[in-house]
Amino acid sequence: MPLKVDLRSRAASPAVTQTINQPFRPLPYVLLLASLAFIFIIEFYPFINGVSFSFHKGSLLSTGAFVGLGNYLRLFNSPSFYNSLWFSFIFAFFNVLVSYVLGLALALFLDPDFPGRGFCRVALLVPWIVPAVVSIVSWKWLIADKGGLVNVILGSFGAGPIYFLSQSGWAMVAVIVIKIWRSFPFMMLSLLAALQVIDKTYYEAARIDGANRWQMFWRITLPHIKNISIIQAILMIIWSINDFETPFLLTQGGPSNATENLILLSYRYTFGRNDVGLGSAVAILTLILLMVLSTIMMRQQAKSA
């Protein structure tokens, strides 16, 4: 990517060595001041508080006694926690896997020029760009028990109805499918960007050497999009784990908590059960999980640079 080249060439440019040798310059610090203040108030200060909450009993109204690792131990003994950890995992897994396959297929489809390609490209991004609440309204009707289009169609074949939102298994499928529908356009877009910077002469050379399309895909296309694929995949795992809107708006975590991910669990403990200690502990564990994933991502980025 050109951006990365910029980063490295700047480090080596003579202008930069000059600035390093110069005495202390306050300007960069001043420029960051406002942003740092915001990050401090909105993320750092709450983070410290959250760590402290997770070691205390407490409600939304007041913080109670210090319980050490009590909240964490309660979580490790609670089936709800493992249930939501499991759902977060399969939610992220299927979302990344299917979004990647769909995204790559559509990116390959949109890479060569054809009339109307620009329109298709923009139109396929729509599921990604509309507000979550709008997509959920539309899907809720499509899969509604009575009068929903899917069940009307199933009914005309004599099948169904499927109660998508009241059966655990189907509710999980519904939440995951809708999440995939909302995420694959982003994958498509980033892969398309990566495909378009591949030097077309590679393909010409391969064709002269008698390579077929399949070989060209494996030997030229895939190696060129490998780095961006890994990075976007990890980014998408992080976003899936952090997703609140899709499960909350569709099922509110139900039926019987089948579609409750870690974020919804933390939300329910905090705002539903008014147990801030337990809710914060879930959030901290989620953060740790995400830190591990991000570290892997940064390693990968460092390797690919």
Partner 1 sequence: MKPNRKWLLLFLGLVIVLIVDFPIITVILNSFRTTETIVSSHSILPTEPTLANYLFINTRTHFWTFLLNSMIVAFTSSALAIVLAALAGFAMSRYRARILGGYNQALLIVQMFPLILAIIPLFIFFRNLDMVNNFIPVIMVYTVTQLPFATWMLRSYFDSIPRELDEAATVDGCSPLRAFVQIILPLTVPGLVAVAIFSFLFSYNEFFISSVFLRDENRMTMPVGIQSFMQQYSTDWGSLMASATLGMVPTLILFFCIQKYMVAGATAGAVKG
- Binding to partner 1 (CB under 8 A) within 78-137 occurs at 106, 109-110, 112-117, 119-120, 122-127, 129-137
How far from 82 is each of 76, 98, 218, CA to CA, in Å? 8, 24, 39
Q: Which residues contact 110 (CB under 8 A, 6 or more apart)?
A: 117, 120, 121, 124, 188, 192
Q: Check binding of 241 to partner 1 (CB under 8 A).
A: yes
Neighbours of 291 (CB within 10 A): 10
Binding part of the chain for partner 1, among 40-48, 70-78, 91-99, 210-218 by CB under 8 A, reads 40-48
Closer residue to partner 1 in complex, CB, 118/223? 118
Q: Check binding of 213 to partner 1 (CB under 8 A).
A: no
- Joined tokens for residue 27: 């300007």
Q: Check binding of 150 to partner 1 (CB under 8 A).
A: no
Q: Which of 8, 10, 226, 273 binds partner 1 (CB under 8 A)?
A: 10
Closer residue to partner 1 in complex, CB, 218/271? 271
Q: Check binding of 171 to partner 1 (CB under 8 A).
A: no
Q: Check binding of 206 to partner 1 (CB under 8 A).
A: no
Minimum distance, C-beta of residue 158 to partner 1, in the bound complex (Å) = 15
Q: Which of 8, 11, 90, 256 binds partner 1 (CB under 8 A)?
A: 11
Q: Which of 73, 97, 159, 298 binds partner 1 (CB under 8 A)?
A: 298
Minimum distance, C-beta of residue 161 to partner 1, in the bound complex (Å) = 13
* Cβ(264)–Cβ(244) below 8 Å: yes
Minimum distance, C-beta of residue 218 to partner 1, in the bound complex (Å) = 23
Q: Which of 12, 15, 65, 208 binds partner 1 (CB under 8 A)?
A: 15
* Cβ(110)–Cβ(120) below 8 Å: yes
* Cβ(244)–Cβ(267) below 8 Å: yes
Closer residue to partner 1 in complex, CB, 70/127? 127
**Which amino acid would we find at residue 254?**
G
DSSP string, 158-179: T-----TTTSHHHHHHHHHHHH
Distance CA(16)–CA(72), nearest Å, equals 48
